[in-house]
Amino acid sequence: MRKTNIWKSPRKNPIQERSRLTVDSILEAAIQVFEQYGYAAGTTARIAERAGVAVGSLYQYFPNKDAILVALAEQHIAECHTLATQAFAQTREMTLSLAETLRLVVKGFIDLHAANPQVHRLLSEEVVPPLEVQQAQMAVERMLVEEVQQILASYSAVDASRRSLVAYVIVQVAEHLTHQLVLHPPHKLTPEACVDEVVQVLLGYIQQQSIGCDATRMVSGTQ
Amino acid sequence: MRKTNIWKSPRKNPIQERSRLTVDSILEAAIQVFEQYGYAAGTTARIAERAGVAVGSLYQYFPNKDAILVALAEQHIAECHTLATQAFAQTREMTLSLAETLRLVVKGFIDLHAANPQVHRLLSEEVVPPLEVQQAQMAVERMLVEEVQQILASYSAVDASRRSLVAYVIVQVAEHLTHQLVLHPPHKLTPEACVDEVVQVLLGYIQQQSIGCDATRMVSGTQ
Amino acid sequence: MRKTNIWKSPRKNPIQERSRLTVDSILEAAIQVFEQYGYAAGTTARIAERAGVAVGSLYQYFPNKDAILVALAEQHIAECHTLATQAFAQTREMTLSLAETLRLVVKGFIDLHAANPQVHRLLSEEVVPPLEVQQAQMAVERMLVEEVQQILASYSAVDASRRSLVAYVIVQVAEHLTHQLVLHPPHKLTPEACVDEVVQVLLGYIQQQSIGCDATRMVSGTQ
Amino acid sequence: MRKTNIWKSPRKNPIQERSRLTVDSILEAAIQVFEQYGYAAGTTARIAERAGVAVGSLYQYFPNKDAILVALAEQHIAECHTLATQAFAQTREMTLSLAETLRLVVKGFIDLHAANPQVHRLLSEEVVPPLEVQQAQMAVERMLVEEVQQILASYSAVDASRRSLVAYVIVQVAEHLTHQLVLHPPHKLTPEACVDEVVQVLLGYIQQQSIGCDATRMVSGTQ
DNA sequence: AATGAATGAGCCTTCATTCAT
DNA sequence: GATGAATGAAGGCTCATTCAT
């Protein structure tokens, strides 16, 4: 993945019915195989076998191994985009407290990760995807940051000058904590308790903003 | 890495001067090569070449490729342990506000990651290390959580019943944010400003604790 | 061969026509290459080259180098079994003198060795085959000893108490002499003359039995 | 061994005391290592280690790995020559029956093999030695055949025209049977009983000669 | 002379990719 | 379009041999 940077787009647009089924089964098989063996050791032969097709057929739809990962990435990113859009739409439709809104957002993040933990892990950790995919990932992240920023604005929770930075940090924290949660769920903690905890982190951070900008000074006063 | 789990210890103990030099150059080269190509594509030939030795020499000191990573891991973990111990020792020696203590802790985390960002990334993301190494990693994390817990206790900042959980979350957040900071330093933000931001997140979370346990209720009341 | 004792079964069952041809050409090439270079220096690359295929094809049908030898062994042992069965069946169908029967048996042994002298040499001398193959070899030998024993019984040539031992010795002698004959045919001696000689050794040994059990005493009396 | 046919003589004649000790320890170690790992897998490093010297020292006395085997061979062949000469000298000094003489000869053969079974196996089976060594081996064998021929002559046991052939066969049989005996001693048979058996084979064969030259005719007459 | 670290050709094996059927 | 046998470059690793110390 890192070595060969030849990322091409799928060879053909599978319009026909059977083609689509084949492509889907290959992608599904790829997820399982990459999860079980990792990307490097997840051979095309194994993917084809699990998909129930011949290697040759695999190469009929994907010009090379990397293209499978790209397809997976694009699919995953699109899914994320949809999920995020829906979640934020909800927060706008309903009239909620900041905490409840945050809970909804965090819930959305968890859904994002739960959708395909393996693919997400693959893309965010094991592999360095092609620029094209990286940009798509960053676009989604930018969108998340912007949405959070709007939420902050709508609640007048944070000074405008810091809103962008705070939103970025919130996305980072939410991203990592939910990621961790989905991949390594801590026993002795119900999913709801987990969400509560993440919300507390974010809420605490936001409330901190209205107290003062300089952490040291702020806390000094507290003591 | 995932497939073959044969992790052995180094072949010979490099006592002699020349040996140590060779081993060091191999480890240094390995870091660079793994960083540039990833673990799977980071071939032993490339490592040897960059180290300026023959492959044979590499295998004189490491029984196989995985052993190089283990050596790297052990070296890195030891370094982390030392760094963490020192940082926490400082917080105890000096009389500081909670915020200042947190800043010291965050500074320690950043040093931890800055020491060998690539190796850290390799171990925490790309690769599934042998149990032995995993346990060492977990031991360090447990130690971090415990130290943070003691800090919380010394400041009576968090209810005893939640202290352990809060400490765990703090370590997670600090861990990820500093990791992100070191690997992808956001331009338009000085390092100090970064530290401030992380401290605010943690501080906000901690102060949240003294207000109420249930985030929703707590915030509802606030509004 | 001695070091790594990982013997697996062939990777896939060659059902298709082309596959079988490839497998056969590989086995044939292996015989030649092992004969010319010995097992250790008979590299898979050389075998593939002589077989006119790529190394990859070799590994499509054999999981590793040892598996080739195992296949060779099994093939050879099966051939031996068939040959031996046929030879002994002949001796039963026809009414022959002991000498003529022995000649038939010796002829069978020679055919056994002539079938694949190189493979036989490989298995019996150069290499330590896996237990599985060893047992098959021993099974064939046991069968030979038993058949010879029955012949001895049918001719009442040897006292029952010594029949088993004598049969064992006969097989040993026949085995080695014919082996030697096929591999290093002595010039100045026609094949028939060779057979005659072996038969004389065996016949002499058998006739010795009816004279007396103690060689020394027996011969002393003769002088 | 088969691949590289570069057999040179030892680099230097170890006259000095310490040198001889080193050479001897290397040869002794080589025997053990070749026995345990086989020739191909018996590395020079292991030999040196077991001999308690550095690899470099090994190469001070032997130009390459094969040279060690040659030295072993020459040593072994010389030993065989000595042993054989002594054994046959005995048969001449004493006045013995043919059977007793044969027993002495067989005893000699066993001593030959018992001296260094491993080296003998190595040379006669696993490895194709250089022409030089092969010739030395053949010279010893020729000597054995000649001695046996003289014994046959002295006992007027075999017609002069067949004496050479019979002697050759006797050596072959004795050679193989004793070889087998030493390497795979059959349980349920005392060493003495083994010797008896071999003597019987040989004696039977010899006595056969005085009956008739053509096995078929001879046996036909018997019927 | 002795040492043992260094060397690198060469071995076994894998796997992405192609192409005849 | 589908198949899967064939391909061969490339990777991990070994070990006979050399040479600076």
Read off the pLDDT band of D10 (50, 70, 90).
low
| DSSP structure string for A70-106 | HHHHHHHHHHHHHHHHHHHHHHHHS---HHHHHHHHH
For the stretch B116-131, pLDDT in tens is 888 998 998 889 899 9
Q: How many CB pairs under 8 A join A and B?
A: 141
The three-state (H, E, C) secondary structure of chain B, written as one string: CCCCCCCCCCCCCCCCHHHHHHHHHHHHHHHHHHHHHHHHHCCHHHHHHHHCCCHHHHHHHCCCHHHHHHHHHHHHHHHHHHHHHHHHHHHHHCCCCHHHHHHHHHHHHHHHHHHCHHHHHHHHHHCCCCHHHHHHHHHHHHHHHHHHHHHHHHCCCCCHHHHHHHHHHHHHHHHHHHHHHHHCCCCCCCHHHHHHHHHHHHHHHHHHHHHCCCHHHHHHHHC
Structure tokens at B168: 């765990």
Q: Do chains B and D touch (3 or more CB pairs under 8 A)?
A: no
Q: Is the pLDDT of residue D88 over 50?
A: yes
Distance from CA of C104 to the nearest CA of D (A): 12
CA–chain centroid gap for C17, Å, is 30
Q: Can you give the pLDDT at residue B32?
A: 95
Q: Can you give the pLDDT at residue A213?
A: 45
Q: Can you give the pLDDT at residue B43?
A: 97
Q: Calculate the angstrom distance between C1' of E4 and CA of D222.
A: 73
| Contact assignment for B204 to A205 by CB distance below 8 Å | yes
C-alpha closest to that of B38 among A122, C185, C212, C161: A122
For the stretch A151-200, pLDDT in tens is 999 998 899 999 999 999 999 999 999 998 888 888 788 888 889 999 99
Helix, strand, or coil here: D160? helix
C-alpha closest to that of A200 among D71, D185, B22, B170: B170
Of these ranges, C61-65, D9-13, D14-18, the one predicted with the greatest mean pLDDT is C61-65
DSSP 8-state code for residue D13? -
Chain D residues inside the 8 Å CB shell of C99: 215-216, 218-220, 222
State which H helix or E strand residue D93 sits in: helix D65-93
Q: Is the pLDDT of residue B223 over 60?
A: no
For the stretch A92-133, pLDDT in tens is 888 899 999 999 989 988 988 888 888 999 998 889 899 999
D15: number of Cβ within 10 Å: 7
Q: Can you give the pLDDT at residue B7?
A: 55
B3, part of any domain: no
C-alpha closest to that of A200 among B161, B215, B220: B215
Q: Is the pLDDT of residue C9 over 80?
A: no
Structure tokens at D135: 């010739």
D78: Cβ contacts below 8 Å, ≥ 6 apart: none
Between CA C170 and CA D200 the distance in angstroms is 12
Q: Is there a single domain that holds both residue A194 and residue A126? A: yes
B12, part of any domain: yes
Residues 68-107 of B with CB under 7 A from strand F: none
| Cβ(D133)–Cβ(D123) below 8 Å | yes
Residue of A nearest to B219 (CA): A99
Q: Is there a single domain that holds both residue D43 and residue D82? A: no
Q: Do chains D and C touch (3 or more CB pairs under 8 A)?
A: yes
| Cβ(C48)–Cβ(C58) below 8 Å | yes
Q: Can you give the pLDDT at residue A15?
A: 57
| Contact assignment for C41 to D1 by CB distance below 8 Å | yes
Between CA A74 and CA A61 the distance in angstroms is 15
A33, part of any domain: yes
Read off the pLDDT band of D218 (50, 70, 90).
very low
C-alpha closest to that of B203 among D144, A74, A211, D204: A211
Between CA B19 and CA B13 the distance in angstroms is 9
Between CA B52 and CA D149 the distance in angstroms is 67
Between CA D136 and CA D129 the distance in angstroms is 10
Read off the pLDDT band of C218 (50, 70, 90).
very low
Q: Is there a single domain that holds both residue C152 and residue C205? A: yes
Read off the pLDDT band of A2 (50, 70, 90).
low
Minimal Cβ distance to C215: which of D3, D180, D203? D203
Read off the pLDDT band of C102 (50, 70, 90).
very high
Mean pLDDT computed over D81-96: 89
Percent of chain A with pLDDT over 70: 87
Q: Read off the CATH number of the domain in which B37 is found.
A: 1.10.10.60
Q: Can you give the pLDDT at residue A138?
A: 93
A129: left (phi over 0), alpha (psi -120 to 50) or beta: beta
Of residues B3 and C130, more confidently modeled = C130
Summary mean pLDDT of chain A:
86
A19 CA: nearest nucleotide by C1': F1
C-alpha closest to that of A180 among A129, A106, A100: A106
Q: Is there a single domain that holds both residue C98 and residue C34? A: no
Q: Can you give the pLDDT at residue D14?
A: 52
Of residues C172 and D7, more confidently modeled = C172
Mean pLDDT computed over B185-209: 90
Q: Is there a single domain that holds both residue C134 and residue C184? A: yes
Q: Is there a single domain that holds both residue B97 and residue B186? A: yes
A66, part of any domain: no
Mean pLDDT computed over C197-216: 79
Summary mean pLDDT of chain C:
86
Mean pLDDT computed over D17-31: 91
A55 touches strand F (CB under 7 A): yes
C66, part of any domain: no
Read off the pLDDT band of D138 (50, 70, 90).
very high
Residue to substitute from D205, D209, D211, D218, interface C, most C β-carbons within 10 A: D205
Q: Can you give the pLDDT at residue C3?
A: 42
Distance from CA of D87 to the nearest CA of C (A): 19
Choose the final residue of a domain: C61, C83, C103: C61
Of residues D223 and C5, more confidently modeled = C5
List the single range of A18-32, A201-215, B137-151, D126-140 with lowest mean pLDDT.
A201-215
Minimal Cβ distance to D99: which of C1, C173, C216? C216
Domain that holds residue C111: 72-222
For the stretch B22-78, pLDDT in tens is 999 999 999 999 999 999 999 999 999 999 999 999 999 999 999 999 999 999 999
Q: Can you give the pLDDT at residue A217?
A: 39
Q: Is there a single domain that holds both residue B16 and residue B85? A: no
Q: Can you give the pLDDT at residue C60?
A: 95
Read off the pLDDT band of D11 (50, 70, 90).
low
Q: Can you give the pLDDT at residue A222?
A: 38
Bases of chain E below 7 A from a protein C-beta are 1-20
Q: Calculate the angstrom distance between C1' of E9 and CA of A64.
A: 33
Q: Which residue is nearest to nucleotide E7 (CA to C1')?
A: B54
| Contact assignment for A37 to B2 by CB distance below 8 Å | yes
Q: Can you give the pLDDT at residue B216?
A: 41
Q: Enter the pTM of the model.
A: 0.86
D67, part of any domain: no
Q: Can you give the pLDDT at residue C7?
A: 53
Percent of chain B with pLDDT over 70: 87
| Cβ(B31)–Cβ(B119) below 8 Å | yes
Residues 7-66 of C with CB under 7 A from strand F: 12, 16, 18-19, 21-22, 53-57, 59-61
Q: Is there a single domain that holds both residue D137 and residue D78? A: yes
Domains: count for chain D: 2
Helix, strand, or coil here: D100? helix
A9 to A59, A71, D38: CA distances (angstroms)? 12, 8, 54
Residue to substitute from D203, D217, D218, D222, interface C, most C β-carbons within 10 A: D203
Q: Is there a single domain that holds both residue C189 and residue C118? A: yes
| Contact assignment for B1 to A38 by CB distance below 8 Å | yes
D3, part of any domain: no
Q: Is there a single domain that holds both residue A97 and residue A206? A: yes
Q: Is the pLDDT of residue A14 over 60?
A: no
Mean pLDDT computed over B185-189: 81
Mean pLDDT computed over A214-223: 39
Residue to substitute from A39, A172, A183, A210, interface B, most B β-carbons within 10 A: A172
Residue to substitute from A142, A165, A219, A223, interface B, most B β-carbons within 10 A: A219
Q: Can you give the pLDDT at residue D32?
A: 95
Mean pLDDT computed over A130-144: 93
Read off the pLDDT band of C41 (50, 70, 90).
very high
For the stretch C178-189, pLDDT in tens is 998 888 888 788
Q: Read off the CATH number of the domain in which B182 is found.
A: 1.10.357.10
Distance from CA of D171 to the nearest CA of C (A): 11
Between CA C15 and CA B16 the distance in angstroms is 59
| Contact assignment for A203 to B220 by CB distance below 8 Å | no
For the stretch C49-60, pLDDT in tens is 999 999 999 999
Q: Is the pLDDT of residue A134 over 90?
A: yes
D106, part of any domain: yes
C-alpha closest to that of D168 among C205, C185, C111: C185
Read off the pLDDT band of B10 (50, 70, 90).
low
Neighbours of chain B (3+ CB pairs under 8 A): A
Chain A residues inside the 8 Å CB shell of B199: 215
CA–chain centroid gap for D59, Å, is 28
Read off the pLDDT band of A43 (50, 70, 90).
very high
Chain B residues inside the 8 Å CB shell of A103: 215-216
Q: Is there a single domain that holds both residue B114 and residue B29? A: no
Q: Is A161 buried (19+), middle (13-18) or exposed (0-12) by CB count in 10 A?
A: exposed
- The CA-based angle D142-D147-D153, given to 5 degrees, is 125
Q: Is there a single domain that holds both residue D55 and residue D94? A: no
| Contact assignment for C41 to D206 by CB distance below 8 Å | no
